[in-house]
Chain A
């Protein structure tokens, strides 16, 4: 069985449109990033510090009543999220209030015990994180991301050429930023689990890019006299069915995770789902066209020997 026959699409020629679309995605992502750094974005309590409590009620409850109960007991600025399945309620208090850490969760639980006497509940999870821990986590995460970017550029620069290494890194960051931007627009929270999802996606997108680069390198060796654009186009076309099949199989794993995985990994699998789409798009329309834009006037001195 075959999804695609032989295709002959001029991907490099379409780069202007792709760059335009990508510019929008990356700009939104960059704005999200700036907002993150400024602390204006919806930073999860892993990074910002704060308290979250998830309760599981026996019977359905009214969100307004829960909010009211918290407000009259001194919790004005908290975020409530309701999961209708299983009557679950997630309460997040970002800035640690006057109550010392270790007591906010207790307070919230006791408020609900008092106000919801007719509806018993279980405490599914509580998380309390001091601001210092959040800062440390932020720092460690940034360091880890920077070093892995450097490592991967160095390897790709050695295996291919500097421009390929940089373009692969750019394509990867493009994907990560785009998903971050989409999450920002949707008002979703940036937490450690999202960071893990972004890293997973970075790994996936990188693999995708490397596969295309590999074919380009091989074809450059076979057809040294052909124009770069032609070599690139036929390379992308040749691996196109592989790209689509692979994306499809990863999609097949993620869809059940998104629908049946439970609330903890719902956002996580959502990030991966849109990430796969963007990652597939970028390995076709962004990664190689960047190299083309960069190298079209000079001869590509790639390590065709392997």
Chain B
């Protein structure tokens, strides 16, 4: 008997020590230096609902990436045909997402077929029509290529967003793919959610386009759009009144250059006006391109366009070599900094749409913690007092089991890097309810046995023995539910399942071993005539 008691008590104390070890980083802050070297430093993470922060779910519009790939193919085909002197009437992506190619003679058709199977193997013929000496092809991407474009759009999107968030400076962000085309982002403790949303959601496609000065802007605004041109706007907010004005620009549709040739982007301050601007550096190819563009278009206006918004449209005074340019506008320092971040991190391969945005302000988060903890402490005290009052000395043993349970559970949460959320606290409440219940079950049994006139030791043993299977049954049924919820539940339900299943398993241990060992020890020390229960 002695050995068995020692063995069980040792196990209980060992687990207790382990739990306290894992809990220390949560309770003590900052940790001493020597601790950090060898001992665990993981804290219990608090969910966003408790500490405040943002939870975003983005949907990557992958079909847009496929469309732009098709546009690229269409312009490649056009270029190739022009270069090889093959006569064609039309090459363009139609509204159904297919490339339509119209050739006017047999010779062109033969030569096109050769090029097509050689250079454009990723495109397959969806339909082919020959009528009155004209040949019409409708080309589409083969499914494997579509899949790979979609996959890389999500992968690159994830990478780009991760870069942006890293540079924005958020500690412990979560950025993970979810489902087929979604990205989950959690940003704890974000102070300016609006700014974060704009930073993450911006496509950041930078383009350089020439201003169309041959045609009249007024005519275009009336609806007579010259072919190959488009109208884009420059937005400017008045710093005093906050009123946003939109100024139209008539631009050539074709982008001379895009942001993929950037190597760096930094904010700088114009010394004379004290106004921030963004200075950008190009790579070798970009520098060459920019040099060439500026040389060819001196005295013309070059618009800098980001996500279809015109930022500035300066007149090119002279050829610019050296691979540097600047974007000015009426920026606030934050706006300029964010613009530099998105330019550095690169454009998203496909636009993203926010489909879920849950933001908890820091004050509500703190409020929730404070109130939750206060309520939990009051509740626990009430239960502890009730048990001690109702079951006297044995009630104190139940209280010991309760405290053991809470420490074990917290220790387990810390060691598993689990995140504690509001529904998680619900799981803990249920687990604690079950912990108390286990003790009530056993004590009621022991009382029954004592009433039948058994000795204290026999009553305790029989009580535990009879309650054992009831406790196992009730715990296993709950555990089954919790595990299924963990497997199939999402978000809050998962948080609930984690603490509940942990709580149930821990409780089985503390109910069956944690309290019994104390009764056994007392019975071992001296033969009790009566038990305070």
Contact between B429 and A253 (Cβ–Cβ < 8 Å)?
yes
**Of the candidates B391, B430, B441, which one forms a contact with A211 in the assembled complex, judged by CB atoms under 8 Å apart?**
B441
Tell me, rounded to whole Å, the shortest Cβ–Cβ distance linking B374 to chain A: 6
Closest residue of chain A to B486 (Cβ to Cβ) is A144
B61-69, B375-383, B514-522 - the one binding chain A: B375-383
Tell me, rounded to whole Å, the shortest Cβ–Cβ distance linking A245 to chain B: 5
Contact between A125 and B477 (Cβ–Cβ < 8 Å)?
no
Tell me, rounded to whole Å, the shortest Cβ–Cβ distance linking A212 to chain B: 9
Interface string of A244-284 (1 = CB under 8 A from B): 01101110111111011110110010001000000000000
The 3 closest A-B CB pairs, nearest first, are: A130-B355, A262-B371, A253-B379
Tell me, rounded to whole Å, the shortest Cβ–Cβ distance linking A251 to chain B: 9
Contact between A211 and B493 (Cβ–Cβ < 8 Å)?
no
List the B side residues contacting A155 at CB < 8 Å.
Answer: 476-477, 480
**Of the candidates B363, B382, B480, which one forms a contact with A122 in the assembled complex, judged by CB atoms under 8 Å apart?**
B363
Tell me, rounded to whole Å, the shortest Cβ–Cβ distance linking B332 to chain A: 17
A-B contact number at CB 8 A: 224
Contact between B386 and A249 (Cβ–Cβ < 8 Å)?
yes
List the B side residues contacting A133 at CB < 8 Å.
Answer: 57, 355-356
Interface string of B352-372 (1 = CB under 8 A from A): 011111111101100110011
Between A141, A199, A272, the greatest number of chain B beta carbons within 10 A of the residue's beta carbon is seen for A199
* A89 CB-CB contact with B under 8 Å: no
Decide yes or no: A199 and B433 within 8 Å by CB, A132-B355, A255-B379 being known contacts. Answer: no
A246, B368: Cα distance in complex, Å? 27
A127, B357: Cα distance in complex, Å? 6
Decide yes or no: A1 and B389 within 8 Å by CB, A122-B363, A127-B359 being known contacts. Answer: yes
List the A side residues contacting B337 at CB < 8 Å.
Answer: none
A124, B368: Cα distance in complex, Å? 11
Closest residue of chain A to B448 (Cβ to Cβ) is A238
Closest residue of chain A to B444 (Cβ to Cβ) is A242
* B286 CB-CB contact with A under 8 Å: no
A256, B49: Cα distance in complex, Å? 20
* B241 CB-CB contact with A under 8 Å: no
Contact between A249 and B436 (Cβ–Cβ < 8 Å)?
yes
17 contacts between A and B (CB under 8 A): A125-B361, A126-B358, A130-B355, A130-B356, A144-B493, A147-B487, A192-B491, A192-B493, A199-B496, A200-B427, A210-B470, A214-B469, A214-B473, A242-B437, A256-B378, A261-B371, A264-B49
The tally of residues in A whose CB lies under 8 Å from a CB in B reads 75
A137, B361: Cα distance in complex, Å? 24
B127-135, B143-151, B193-201 - the one binding chain A: B193-201
List the B side residues contacting A254 at CB < 8 Å.
Answer: 379, 429
Closest residue of chain B to A156 (Cβ to Cβ) is B477
| 11 more A-B residue pairs beyond the given contacts A192-B493, A199-B496, with a C-beta to C-beta distance below 8 A | A54-B364, A123-B359, A133-B355, A137-B490, A195-B493, A207-B477, A213-B473, A242-B440, A245-B390, A254-B379, A255-B382
Decide yes or no: A128 and B356 within 8 Å by CB, A106-B194, A207-B474, A256-B375 being known contacts. Answer: yes
A264, B371: Cα distance in complex, Å? 10
Tell me, rounded to whole Å, the shortest Cβ–Cβ distance linking B32 to chain A: 35
* A129 CB-CB contact with B under 8 Å: yes
List the B side residues contacting A54 at CB < 8 Å.
Answer: 364
Between A129, A242, A250, A253, the greatest number of chain B beta carbons within 10 A of the residue's beta carbon is seen for A253
Contact between A207 and B485 (Cβ–Cβ < 8 Å)?
no
Contact between A239 and B444 (Cβ–Cβ < 8 Å)?
yes
A23, B362: Cα distance in complex, Å? 45
Tell me, rounded to whole Å, the shortest Cβ–Cβ distance linking B506 to chain A: 15
Interface size classification for chain B: 35 or more
Decide yes or no: A257 and B496 within 8 Å by CB, A132-B355, A155-B476, A214-B469 being known contacts. Answer: no
- Give the secondary structure class of A's interface: helix
Contact between A101 and B490 (Cβ–Cβ < 8 Å)?
no
List the A side residues contacting B383 at CB < 8 Å.
Answer: 249, 252-253
A1, B392: Cα distance in complex, Å? 8
List the B side residues contacting A268 at CB < 8 Å.
Answer: 422, 426
Contact between A261 and B372 (Cβ–Cβ < 8 Å)?
yes
Tell me, rounded to whole Å, the shortest Cβ–Cβ distance linking B139 to chain A: 32
* A193 CB-CB contact with B under 8 Å: yes
Tell me, rounded to whole Å, the shortest Cβ–Cβ distance linking A234 to chain B: 12
Decide yes or no: A127 and B358 within 8 Å by CB, A200-B427, A206-B474, A262-B367 being known contacts. Answer: yes
Tell me, rounded to whole Å, the shortest Cβ–Cβ distance linking B384 to chain A: 10
List the A side residues contacting B477 at CB < 8 Å.
Answer: 152, 155-156, 168, 206-207, 210
- Give the secondary structure class of B's interface: helix
Contact between A207 and B434 (Cβ–Cβ < 8 Å)?
yes
Q: Which of A201-221 contact B (CB under 8 A)?
A: 202-204, 206-207, 210-211, 213-215, 218
* A8 CB-CB contact with B under 8 Å: no
A126, B54: Cα distance in complex, Å? 9
**Of the candidates B353, B358, B473, B484, which one forms a contact with A159 in the assembled complex, judged by CB atoms under 8 Å apart?**
B473
Tell me, rounded to whole Å, the shortest Cβ–Cβ distance linking A211 to chain B: 5
Decide yes or no: A148 and B480 within 8 Å by CB, A132-B355, A199-B485, A268-B426 being known contacts. Answer: yes
List the A side residues contacting B436 at CB < 8 Å.
Answer: 246, 249-250
Q: Which of A122-174 contact B (CB under 8 A)?
A: 122-130, 132-133, 136-137, 140-141, 143-144, 147-148, 151-152, 155-156, 159, 168
Tell me, rounded to whole Å, the shortest Cβ–Cβ distance linking A268 to chain B: 7
Closest residue of chain B to A55 (Cβ to Cβ) is B361
Contact between B470 and A211 (Cβ–Cβ < 8 Å)?
yes
Contact between B478 and A257 (Cβ–Cβ < 8 Å)?
no
Tell me, rounded to whole Å, the shortest Cβ–Cβ distance linking A88 to chain B: 9
**Of the candidates A147, A196, A206, A257, which one forms a contact with B379 in the assembled complex, judged by CB atoms under 8 Å apart?**
A257
Contact between B489 and A140 (Cβ–Cβ < 8 Å)?
yes
List the B side residues contacting A101 at CB < 8 Å.
Answer: 353-355, 357
Contact between A218 and B500 (Cβ–Cβ < 8 Å)?
no
Decide yes or no: A148 and B481 within 8 Å by CB, A246-B437, A249-B440 being known contacts. Answer: yes
Closest residue of chain A to B50 (Cβ to Cβ) is A264
* B154 CB-CB contact with A under 8 Å: no
A151, B500: Cα distance in complex, Å? 16
Q: Which of B373-416 contact A (CB under 8 A)?
A: 374-376, 378-380, 382-383, 386-387, 389-392
A238, B49: Cα distance in complex, Å? 43
List the A side residues contacting B434 at CB < 8 Å.
Answer: 207
Tell me, rounded to whole Å, the shortest Cβ–Cβ distance linking A114 to chain B: 11
A211, B434: Cα distance in complex, Å? 12
List the B side residues contacting A262 at CB < 8 Å.
Answer: 367-368, 371-372
Interface string of A23-48 (1 = CB under 8 A from B): 00000000000000000000000000
List the A side residues contacting B478 at CB < 8 Å.
Answer: 203, 206-207
* A241 CB-CB contact with B under 8 Å: yes
A257, B377: Cα distance in complex, Å? 10
A11, B68: Cα distance in complex, Å? 72
Decide yes or no: A306 and B382 within 8 Å by CB, A1-B389, A128-B357 being known contacts. Answer: no
Tell me, rounded to whole Å, the shortest Cβ–Cβ distance linking B499 to chain A: 11
Decide yes or no: A200 and B426 within 8 Å by CB, A128-B356, A253-B432 being known contacts. Answer: yes
* A188 CB-CB contact with B under 8 Å: no
Q: Which of B278-297 contact A (CB under 8 A)?
A: none
* B488 CB-CB contact with A under 8 Å: yes
Contact between B480 and A151 (Cβ–Cβ < 8 Å)?
yes
* B276 CB-CB contact with A under 8 Å: no
Contact between B485 and A148 (Cβ–Cβ < 8 Å)?
yes
List the A side residues contacting B466 at CB < 8 Å.
Answer: 218
* A102 CB-CB contact with B under 8 Å: yes
A241, B193: Cα distance in complex, Å? 53
A67, B489: Cα distance in complex, Å? 37
